[in-house]
């Protein structure tokens, strides 16, 4: 644990113009946490700006206020907070505006957090960044039904709907307090975990039938190439969650999803079963994440990358 909720409250109380930044390729935790904090700060009379370096994935546009995210036009703010970012480069093209702001803070829950601000509130044991944002907002006494729905959506995303080993007693205590605001928890879970459009379904069936298995079925990999996206009318953001189909196979200990971003440039997602550490594998490529879920970018030909990552898994079996 780095820093505490008091440091963030003190930081927020001293600023009027506050910019909130979530990471590139945002997920439900980054978006829900950032939007909840924004609502609480607006209720407290602050002027709030919301930044992300790419568009909100269609899947998460149900989160109230998601249309408020933009790319920074102002060069600097009085205060800036990064949400759910384990390192500065996770801010992507927003990094410059973040660094230009006079005071900076970070709220995060990655064990691999690399300290890049003076003020921090980081707990690598929280299942979602939203657990920490919940504490901040509760201390501000600003919880309400809208904020509760956003935080619940964030926790549901990062906790695998309360199924991951990162889930603690505290995760459930927070979730139950959020439900007490009368939110439609089942509907939020449906939107985050179940609902899919037909194009994404077609991409999924196409990719899963090409899944590759190594090391006696203990290592699995799927590869999304430009032609797969073109054939199904989908894009990178719609690949989210498909890797879980692999790690859910009994024999699989390490699962990979390799997604083509540009020619010879891939996003690598990693899922592992304990004790194999996903973040440690991601580290080999300059990435990071959690014990059982991590990611990074890798350059090269897919065949070479596959060979490399299968070896990294084999060495850890």
Residue ranges in contact with Mn ion by CB under 5 A: 29, 84, 129, 158
Q: How far apart are CA 259 and CA 316, in angstroms?
A: 23
* Beta-sheet pairing, 254-262 with 17-22: unpaired
Nearest approach, Cβ of 300 to Mn ion (angstroms)? 28
Nearest approach, Cβ of 143 to Mn ion (angstroms)? 20
Nearest approach, Cβ of 296 to Mn ion (angstroms)? 16
Q: % helix / strand / coil in the chain, to the nearest 5?
A: 45, 20, 35
Query: Looking at beta carbons only, is 108 or 228 nearer to Mn ion?
Result: 108
Query: Looking at beta carbons only, is 81 or 310 nearer to Mn ion?
Result: 81
Nearest approach, Cβ of 266 to Mn ion (angstroms)? 22
How many beta carbons lie within 10 A of that of residue 180, not counting itself? Answer: 11
CB 72 within 8 A of CB 97: yes
Q: Which two tokens stand for residue 155?
A: 């926790």
Nearest to 33 by CA among 97, 185, 41, 267: 41
Nearest approach, Cβ of 25 to Mn ion (angstroms)? 12
Query: Looking at beta carbons only, is 44 or 189 nearer to Mn ion?
Result: 189
CB 68 within 8 A of CB 34: no
Nearest approach, Cβ of 256 to Mn ion (angstroms)? 20
Query: Looking at beta carbons only, is 26 or 72 nearer to Mn ion?
Result: 26
Query: Looking at beta carbons only, is 164 or 213 nearer to Mn ion?
Result: 164
φ, ψ of residue 174 in degrees (nearest 5): -65, -45
* Beta-sheet pairing, 2-3 with 119-122: antiparallel
Nearest approach, Cβ of 247 to Mn ion (angstroms)? 18
- 167: Cβ–Cβ under 8 A, 6 or more apart, which residues? 127, 159, 160
Query: Looking at beta carbons only, is 30 or 183 nearer to Mn ion?
Result: 30
Q: Which residue is nearest to Mn ion (CB)?
A: 29
Q: What is residue 78's DSSP assignment?
A: S
Query: Looking at beta carbons only, is 220 or 279 nearer to Mn ion?
Result: 279
């Amino acid at each position: 644990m780095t820093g505490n909720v008091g440091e963030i409250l003190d930081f927020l109380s001293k600023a009027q113009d506050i910019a909130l930044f979530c990471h590139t390729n945002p997920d439900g935790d980054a978006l829900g946490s950032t939007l909840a904090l924004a609502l609480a700060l607006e209720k407290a009379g602050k002027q709030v700006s919301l930044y992300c370096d790419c568009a909100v994935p269609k899947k998460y546009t149900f989160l109230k206020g998601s249309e408020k995210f933009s790319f920074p036009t102002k060069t600097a703010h009085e205060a800036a907070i990064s949400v759910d970012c384990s390192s500065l480069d996770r801010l992507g093209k927003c990094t410059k505006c973040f660094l230009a702001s006079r005071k900076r803070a970070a709220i995060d829950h990655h064990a691999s957090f690399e300290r890049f601000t003076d003020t921090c509130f980081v707990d690598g044991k929280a299942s979602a960044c939203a657990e920490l944002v919940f504490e901040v907002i509760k201390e501000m006494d600003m919880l309400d039904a809208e904020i509760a729905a956003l935080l619940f959506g964030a926790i549901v995303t990062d906790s695998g709907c309360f199924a991951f080993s990162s889930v603690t007693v505290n995760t459930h205590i927070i979730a139950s307090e959020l439900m007490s605001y009368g939110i439609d928890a089942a509907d939020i879970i449906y939107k985050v975990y179940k609902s899919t459009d037909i194009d994404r379904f077609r991409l999924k069936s196409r990719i899963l039938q090409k899944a590759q298995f190594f090391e006696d079925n203990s290592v699995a990999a799927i590869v999304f190439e430009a032609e797969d996206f073109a054939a199904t009318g989908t894009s990178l953001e719609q690949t989210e969650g498909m890797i879980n189909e692999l790690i859910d196979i009994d024999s699989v200990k390490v699962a990979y999803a390799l997604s083509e971003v540009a020619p010879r440039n891939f996003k690598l997602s990693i899922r592992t079963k304990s004790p194999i550490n996903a973040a440690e594998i991601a580290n080999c490529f300059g990435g990071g994440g959690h014990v059982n879920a991590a990611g990074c970018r890798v350059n090269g030909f897919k065949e070479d990358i596959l060979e490399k990552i299968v070896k990294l898994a084999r060495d850890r079996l």
